[in-house]
Structure 1
Amino acid sequence: MIVRIFHTVFFYVVTILSFLIGSSLALLYLPLSKTKTKPFQIAAHHWARFLAFFSGIKVTVSGLENIPKDKALIIVSNHQGAADILLLLACLPVLFKFAIKKELFGLPAFGWYLKRAGYFSVDRKVVLSAYRTVEQITEILKEGGNVLIFPEGTRSKTGELGRFKRGSLLAALKSGAPIVPIAISGSFNIMPRGTFLIHPHPVKLTVGKPIYIASEEDYDNKVGEVRDSIARML
């Protein structure tokens, strides 16, 4: 237990220091970039790779060949644990934006970085927030960007795959963008709910074949198909 506490504290210290270094490098690269958000997304990718390696978490990745190239896409994953976004940022060969709790944007330095990277907030207490999120995702896709969505809406309490919120994939219908299903298995054990201690548990990340939602009539069936695809890969 003492070793685990020491490892966790040391990891958080390294996280903060590497975040400051990565932010500085992103700012230096900013004048050379065509977009204002890309340097911060690239820095987030490398930062996540460094932290995933430093944490001791062994990740096995398969199915990367299923990710479409040169096409805006929606990455849809189950949400087992707090490390999911970190692992997806580290392991996927594409940059992407995602929704984050509104409260995190208020954190000093970190909130600033989230905004500069183009990540967007979601307020679960406001009904209209879900509609605005769909509009934001659709706009990002139209601009050629990629978006990560957790259709369960929150982290799993048991590690099992939960129900998908019915409107979670409306942006795929509105934009015509392909949905890339991803299954994360094992991240639930890295940092279970109620603890900040890190357990370097092995993780399996599997990428499935793209799924398209062609019509409103087919929406519910396709949402079920995406969920079934993830369930089979777990």
Structure 2
Amino acid sequence: MIKKILLNIYLWTMFFIVTIISLILFPFFVLFFILRGKNFESSVRLSICFYGWILVKIVPFFCPVKVYYKTEKIPEPCVFVANHCSSIDPYLFGALMIDGAFVSTWPFKIPVYGFFMRLAKYINANDGWNVMLEKAKRLLSMGSNLIIWPEGHRSRTGKLGVFKKGAFAISVETGYPIVPVCILGSGKFMPPGKFFVNPSKVSLIVLEPVYPECDSDKLIAIKKLRKKVFENLKNCIEENSNY
């Protein structure tokens, strides 16, 4: 119990300190990436990613988030699809240090987060399918990756829920591959609906990309792609059930 209390005091204190410092230094982060040849939108997304990287790789120095790759190379741009078990999951993508745009809903309602999500041109899933697809096409054509939670909500059991078709329809419509990302341990670290964290290891496993069959019927291609990605993630979770 004492270990858990100390862990929470440390992590939450560091979270607020890092967040405040990052807000102050954010313009300089953006300028740094612009000077390295990135456009403004990409620089904002990379700056947000760097903030996440600090939170998951530097702050928990005693047990940083680990990333394992089952693929030799990520075919960027792509559509990242991940299982969703905790509110910390979005931060975990900071460990990949990629130019990624989230497709989400509720974070847009949070004052500070919403501002930066709009600034980074993240996609609000509440805008409707046609708007979402056009924004997705634009981002992918500019070299940005998409990050989507196909379940649409956090799992309370750690098991995969039903996948919505949005991510897979985007992949079929654009021809860009799906890269499944298996998140392990986040649900134990911070369970859904809980504020306090528990001592637990957290890892990401980046799986082999899955390419859409763009030459077949779109509806059939979407179903095949969704089934294949679901099976790959499900198998990875089951193989690491003791994590």
Residues 200 and 36 (structure 1), Cα distance of their counterparts in 2 relative to 1, 3 Å cut:
farther
- Greater RCO, CA 8 A, separation 6+: 1
Q: Counterparts of 2:137 and 2:144 in 1: how far apart (Å)?
A: 10
Matched residue, 2:191: 192
Q: Report the identity percentage.
A: 25
Q: Point out 4+ residue stretches in structure 1 off by more than 4 angstroms.
A: none
Contact kept in structure 1, 2:46 and 2:98, CA below 8 Å: no
- The residue that corresponds to 1:61 in the other structure is 67
- Trace 1:1-234 onto structure 2 (pairs within 5 A): 2-29=5-32, 32=35, 33-52=37-56, 53-55=58-60, 57-63=63-69, 65-69=71-75, 71-89=76-94, 91-102=95-106, 104-105=108-109, 107-108=111-112, 110-123=113-126, 129-214=128-213, 215=216, 216=218, 217-234=220-237
State the 1:149 CA deviation. Answer: 1.1
Q: Which letter maps to 1:223?
A: R
Other structure's SS at 1:205 match: strand
CA contact (8 A) 1:41 1:95 kept: yes
Q: Distance in 2 between matches of 1:170 and 1:65?
A: 23
CA RMSD in angstroms comes to 2.4
Q: Which moved more, 1:31-40 or 1:146-155?
A: 31-40
Q: Where do 5+ consecutive residues of structure 1 fail to align?
A: none
Aligned residue pairs total 227
Alpha-carbon contact 1:67-1:180 (below 8 Å) kept: no
Q: What is the CA–CA distance in structure 1 between the aligned matches of 2:122 and 2:106, rounded to whole Å?
A: 11
- Tell me the SS of whatever aligns to 1:37: helix
Q: Which amino acid aligns with 1:118?
A: K
Q: What TM-score does the superposition give when structure 2 sets the normalisation length?
A: 0.82
Task: Evaluate the alpha carbon distance shift between residue 167 and residue 118 of structure 1 in structure 2; reply closer, same or farther with a 3 A threshold.
Answer: closer
In the alignment, structure 2 segments of 5+ residues that lack a partner are 238-243
Counterpart-to-counterpart distance in 1, 2:203 and 2:224: 27
What TM-score comes out, normalization by structure 1 length? 0.85
